[in-house]
Amino acid sequence: MKKLLLLLTLIGSFVVNAQEMGTVSGLITDADGMPLSGATVSIKILDKGAMTDFDGRYTIENVQVGSYNVAVSYIGYETTTKSILVVSGQTTQVDASLKGSDTVLDEVILTANKQPQKITDVPATVNVIRAVDIQEFPSFNIGELAARQKGVDFVRSGVLGTGINIRGFNSAFNSKNLQVTDDRLSTLIATGLPLGSFSTITKDDIERVEILLGPNGTLYGPNAHNGLVSTITKDPRKSEGTTFAIGAGNQNVLTARLRHAQIIDDKFAYKFHFERSQGTEFDYVDSVYVGTTAYKELDLDRDFDSQKYGASLFYKPTKGSELIGYYGHSNSNNIGVTSAGRNQIKDWSIDVAQVKFVSKNFFANTYYTWSNTEDTYAINQRTQNYVSFINNGFSEQEARERSFSEQWFPTGPGTGIVLQRGALFKDDSRRFNAEGQYNNNWDAFFLTLGAQYQRDMADSKGTYLLDEGGIDLDQTGVYAQMEYKLEETGWGFLAGGRLDNHDLYGSNFIPKLAITKKVNNGTFRITYGKGIAVPSILNLKGKLFGGLVLGNGEGFTLTDGTKIPKLDVETINSYEIGYKGKLSDKLFIDTNAYYNRSDNFISPLVNVADAANGNNVTFVGDKPIGEVVEGSNGAFVLTYLNFGNVDTYGVDVGLNYYFDDSFRAVFNYSYFGRNLDKEDLANDGNLDGKVLESELPINTPNNKFSLGFHYNKGNFYGAIYGRYVQKYDFFSGINIAAETQDLDGDGVNEIVENARNGRTWNYGQLGGFTVDANAGYNFSDSLSLGVSITNLFNAEVREFVASPVISTLISFELKYNINFFKNKSVATN
């Protein structure tokens, strides 16, 4: 009898509890009424929440009766909070229409943890270039917007060439940060360099760019060791319409763009884009030295152009999932700066095909990348080859023809020998990538599990790689990341790890740890992360200029028996503390301090032979060098080495002050320093028994800051930015930009400013102060006109080696938007 009464009591309690529960559901849209999929709706005090499906709808079940605050957040939009009353046995309807984010602390980002997360909760330093920033920047080259971000080293090599670096170790061949676009690697296959202007996407299709400072290898794999740049394009369901844009500027710049996006029905949507841009680089010729005589670059073509197009199809198999297919193409002609001189890029094309599946808990992604060029060449080497034939009596026609592959070495009056000194770069490389991921959360616990696979298939047709039959390399990575968030106390904990396996380097473990604490209007964080840089295929298998440059995938042996070890993985351990928050109602701060320990640093090109003392390279791995490079005696071999360690440290500070809703000021400051032990011969990059500053080129200023003002009211918008970069030395291969100095203390200046240094001319240190501005006017909802001015006051500033002084650049852009669909009812209801 007692057992029966106990059972009835339990059943009665269950019924009462069930009756005291309710449901919250609703629709989340943007200001134009378009549904927002992936928005986060949460009742924080209960640790309950949901994400909207692809119709913008959500449901939170089993909510205890009572009064609550419901928070709604979405990437790029303001977080909004609504007070609700949950009634027993009923559904409470809570709809919300979100406005675009006006303040930095309202931002919701995607890249850091591969899921939407408010920027104040992210345990990392993140810069965001928003859709409105891109829309109000009237230039086809949005890379310039990176100059306005904290902690980012922005450089410009000409009209077209822009690049960024994060926390030191820049070079003219920089792969120190990983770049991705819509979950695709945005890098060249053999070199690992960012695609930059080779990208297949266009400005009008970019929703936002998220720049993460520091290692992010746990979720993104090798080579995200200094930072990560993630570009996210627009969803056609939230950006329907057609955009036409034409632009023009000095240096003969012309650009034309088209983008169209449309919802077909509740299952299908699509978008496509096209761009054609062209112009002429500054009138600058980089000297090529043969002995001590300078020659102009042969057949230098300063005209550049690019053409790109792409299309995406979005299909919803179910209300809670989506399948996305993408194809993109680009073709480019321009000048590229490298550590061995400039390259003439000729019809280099990139093609990408991608299929991606997204649902609440599962993510799958696979894509294939093609890279092709037949006629790209190294200007420096080709010019040297040409001069060798002309100076020895060959005809102009023969000298030009043979300059792509051969160099003449005289052995006596009227006699000589020909050596292979190939200047031509061909590329027929491929890359296959695949990834699967599962994520879920149980109240305060969040879990992410995933695996990635990559196969690089490099093929230079024997022009710049040791690649007879091609080079195939596989990498596989598995990762897990766990977060535990205590909303009541404000504490958050994150732990992650990744195990990566490489064909040549076996297994490497990449951990990540973070602790966050919310205090009033901000969040403190302390993080530890490890990053690794796997040598690129070029680092390992390069064969440039007839073997003058060789990759170090096998190691070398010298005449005296000295062994030069093969390249190993570079590692970085990074420790960071930071704070994001509101100092007052109008002042916001995002600041950090970090300390990095880099080991097995991969050097710039170093000559490992000592021909003057008869110590040549005799073996590459276990093969005589004459078998690897026909005819080579190993008297001069440039290659890459691992050496030593270096400690770097710094501080980044970003301040945003809102005078009112339409006027904002931005101040960014960064300091960067390092410790290099000159007594440790492991840091002797060129193996000459002395540790010099130039052997570990940080190539980053100690101090830099920027101050900007944004204004947007009514139909007018504008911004002006002043940027100061402290003068600094830059060493990269043959390129030198440095002040006069005695590197080894012997009383002789090895580096001389405004003079020839080795094989190039040294114009002195980089850096200086410039002012950029942009403004525009919206004549209507459809038509706008904007102007952008780089280096407004025409300051004499050189930002990169082998590059001209950057003169004033002015560009105008006329844009016309046709939104046929803005006022129609939501098709997915």
Domain borders along the chain are 121-376+426-534+569-605+640-818
**Whether the Cβ atoms of residue 232 and residue 109 lie closer than 8 Å to each other:** no
Q: Which CATH number fits domain 121-376+426-534+569-605+640-818: 3.30.70.980, 3.30.70.20, 2.40.170.20, 3.20.19.10?
A: 2.40.170.20
- pLDDT for residue 6: 46
pLDDT at 828 over 80: no
pLDDT at 201 over 90: yes
Query: Looking at per-residue confidence, does 294 or 173 come out higher?
Result: 294
Q: Which residues contact 56 (CB under 8 A, 6 or more apart)?
A: 27, 28, 29, 34, 35, 36, 37, 39, 826, 828
- pLDDT for residue 116: 64
- pLDDT for residue 101: 61
pLDDT at 541 over 80: yes
pLDDT at 130 over 90: no
The model's confidence at residue 438, banded by pLDDT at 50, 70 and 90, is very high
What confidence tens digit (pLDDT) does each residue in 333-377 have? Answer: 999 998 888 999 999 999 999 999 999 889 999 999 999 999 999
- pLDDT for residue 4: 47
How far is Cα 601 from Cα 622, in angstroms, rounded to an integer?
25
SS3 (DSSP) at 114: coil
- pLDDT for residue 9: 45
**Whether the Cβ atoms of residue 35 and residue 72 lie closer than 8 Å to each other:** no
Residue 155: both structure tokens together: 């450089």
pLDDT at 185 over 70: yes
Q: In which element (H, E) is residue 379 found? A: helix 379-390
How far is Cα 688 from Cα 551, in angstroms, rounded to an integer?
20
pLDDT at 592 over 80: yes
The model's confidence at residue 685, banded by pLDDT at 50, 70 and 90, is low
- pLDDT for residue 44: 75
The stretch 243-266 carries a mean pLDDT of 96
Burial 402-418 (b: 16+ CB within 10 A, else e): bbbbbbbeeeeeeebee
- pLDDT for residue 113: 59
How far is Cα 283 from Cα 277, in angstroms, rounded to an integer?
19
- pLDDT for residue 105: 54
The stretch 499-516 carries a mean pLDDT of 92
pLDDT at 76 over 80: no
pLDDT at 120 over 80: no
What is the CA angle 291-296-300, rounded to 5? 135
The model's confidence at residue 644, banded by pLDDT at 50, 70 and 90, is confident
The stretch 670-694 carries a mean pLDDT of 75
SS3 (DSSP) at 199: coil
pLDDT at 300 over 90: yes
User: What is the radius of gyration, based on Cα positions, of the chain?
Assistant: 29
- pLDDT for residue 823: 46
- pLDDT for residue 235: 92
What is the CA angle 674-676-679, rounded to 5? 165
The stretch 701-711 carries a mean pLDDT of 95
What confidence tens digit (pLDDT) does each residue in 649-662 have? Answer: 999 999 999 998 88
Side chain identity, residue 778? N
- pLDDT for residue 676: 73
- pLDDT for residue 111: 61
The number of angstroms, rounded, from the C-alpha of 399 to the middle of its chain's C-alpha atoms is 41
**Whether the Cβ atoms of residue 581 and residue 522 lie closer than 8 Å to each other:** yes
The stretch 321-342 carries a mean pLDDT of 94
pLDDT at 670 over 90: yes
The stretch 419-443 carries a mean pLDDT of 92
Query: Looking at per-residue confidence, does 167 or 574 come out higher?
Result: 574
Query: Looking at per-residue confidence, does 140 or 618 come out higher?
Result: 618
pLDDT at 577 over 90: yes
What confidence tens digit (pLDDT) does each residue in 468-495 have? Answer: 878 999 999 999 999 998 878 889 999 9
Most confident of the following: 30-39, 472-481, 603-612: 472-481
Which one, of 556, 529, 535, lies nearest residue 603 by Cα? 535
As a dihedral over the C-alpha atoms of residue 572, residue 576, residue 582, residue 584, rounded to 10 degrees, the angle is: -120
The model's confidence at residue 397, banded by pLDDT at 50, 70 and 90, is very high
Residue 261: both structure tokens together: 């996006």
The model's confidence at residue 5, banded by pLDDT at 50, 70 and 90, is very low
How far is Cα 540 from Cα 505, in angstroms, rounded to an integer?
12
Mean pLDDT (the chain) is: 88
- pLDDT for residue 16: 41
DSSP letter, residue 56: S
The model's confidence at residue 13, banded by pLDDT at 50, 70 and 90, is very low
The stretch 92-107 carries a mean pLDDT of 73
- pLDDT for residue 632: 84
- pLDDT for residue 745: 77
What confidence tens digit (pLDDT) does each residue in 339-350 have? Answer: 888 999 999 999
The model's confidence at residue 320, banded by pLDDT at 50, 70 and 90, is confident
Query: Looking at per-residue confidence, does 547 or 334 come out higher?
Result: 334
Which one, of 442, 449, 445, 508, lies nearest residue 476 by Cα? 508
DSSP letter, residue 678: T
% of residues, the chain, pLDDT over 90: 54
- pLDDT for residue 724: 97
- Of 235-249, 302-316, 602-616, 751-765, least confident by mean pLDDT is 602-616
- Of 69-73, 673-677, 730-734, least confident by mean pLDDT is 673-677
% of residues, the chain, pLDDT over 70: 92
Length of the chain: 829
Q: Which residues contact 705 (CB under 8 A, 6 or more apart)?
A: 667, 668, 669, 670, 723, 724
pLDDT at 813 over 90: yes
Query: Looking at per-residue confidence, does 232 or 675 come out higher?
Result: 232
The model's confidence at residue 391, banded by pLDDT at 50, 70 and 90, is very high
- pLDDT for residue 825: 42
The stretch 146-162 carries a mean pLDDT of 90
